[in-house]
Amino acid sequence: MLHILSVDDLSNDFLYSLWQEAIFKKGLINNKLKGKILTNLFYEPSTRTSSSFYSAMTRSGGAVIPINDVQFSSIAKGESLEDTIMTMSAMSDAIVIRHTENGSARRASMVSKVPIINAGDGNGEHPTQTILDGFTIYCFNNKKLSNLRITLIGDLKNGRTVKSLVKLLNRFDNNHFNFVSPSQLKFSNPLPSKYYETDNIDEVLKDTDILYVTRVQKERGSRHNYSLSMDQLNSLPKKSIVMHPFPRINEIPQEFDKDSRAKYFDQIQFGVWCRQILLERVLS
């Protein structure tokens, strides 16, 4: 049984073959998952991730049990994660879970009878976001994930998308990471081989191929607010790309959306394509 709990569960070969198929299929409607049922179990708010899985599953002919408002489920009565997982694994063929606690997806996988897909566990990981983030880089960087200068800005201490993405990109040759955050929100995971840390984005903007912007995670106790100006964004190299897992609060002005370097809406589209292929692989 294939659980997707961490980026460590995704080999480069698996990712390349998934991305190749995603480029080819581009979300094409089919019937491969007809008769299959997915549970979307979300203990934290989500717009993109839950809808993206819903769209992906439906595109392949499958059905979804959406549990997005846990306050209206038995969870609100105090049911344990284990009991909820046992219950939903008796009714569905795979479970996508987003939870407030680091390690919760792994806990779920210990009792589940069906594959578990981690859609974000507290400040732990978010491997399916990394599948689409990696795909975005793959598409806009001539199918390569090496020789990159990646600047990550925001809440690097709590941002699970950052942690998963750094894990992936650190596997490839000659990638250099710029971590930009105030000292309280510094990247706390094992550091990659080549990195530079600063609290001043202006030091590194010109030396950036990929700018990965994240919000400050208020719900995990982080304070601090920042927004990049049009002048700062315009000083990025012409061939660079700007990514953001969203939701954005005010980190990137809307005015930048029409700039050809802005790729955050492509990421959302790519998420559906990639998750569709992922579900087809996990469920068959």
**Applying CB under 6 A, does 50 fall inside the site for ligand NCD?**
no
Buried-exposed string 47-79: b where 16+ CB fall within 10 A, e elsewhere:
ebbbbbbbbbbbbbebebeebbebeeeebeeee
x/- letters, 165..204, toward ligand NCD (CB under 6 A): ----------------------------------------
Neighbours of 37 (CB within 10 A): 17
Joined tokens for residue 225: 């607010």
**Applying CB under 6 A, does 49 fall inside the site for ligand NCD?**
yes
**Applying CB under 6 A, does 123 fall inside the site for ligand NCD?**
no
Single out the residue of 275, 282, 273 nearest to residue 26, CA to CA: 273
- Residue closer to ligand NCD by CB (options 47, 80) is 47
- Residue closer to ligand NCD by CB (options 46, 84) is 46
Joined tokens for residue 145: 């994930």
- Name residue, tokens 């599948």: 131
Among 59, 99, 163, 215, binds ligand NCD (CB under 6 A): 215
**Applying CB under 6 A, does 6 fall inside the site for ligand NCD?**
no
**Applying CB under 6 A, does 157 fall inside the site for ligand NCD?**
no
**Applying CB under 6 A, does 99 fall inside the site for ligand NCD?**
no
**Applying CB under 6 A, does 160 fall inside the site for ligand NCD?**
yes
**Applying CB under 6 A, does 134 fall inside the site for ligand NCD?**
no
* Residue 156 · residue 149 · CB < 8 Å: no
**Applying CB under 6 A, does 122 fall inside the site for ligand NCD?**
no
**Applying CB under 6 A, does 245 fall inside the site for ligand NCD?**
yes
- Residue closer to ligand NCD by CB (options 196, 226) is 226
Q: Which residue is nearest to ligand NCD (CB)?
A: 245
φ/ψ of 39, rounded to 5, equals -100, 130
Q: How far lies 104's CA from each of 68, 273, 275, in Å?
A: 17, 26, 21
* Residue 252 · residue 233 · CB < 8 Å: yes
- Chain contacts with ligand NCD (rule: CB under 6 A): 48-49, 120, 126, 129, 160-161, 214-215, 245-246
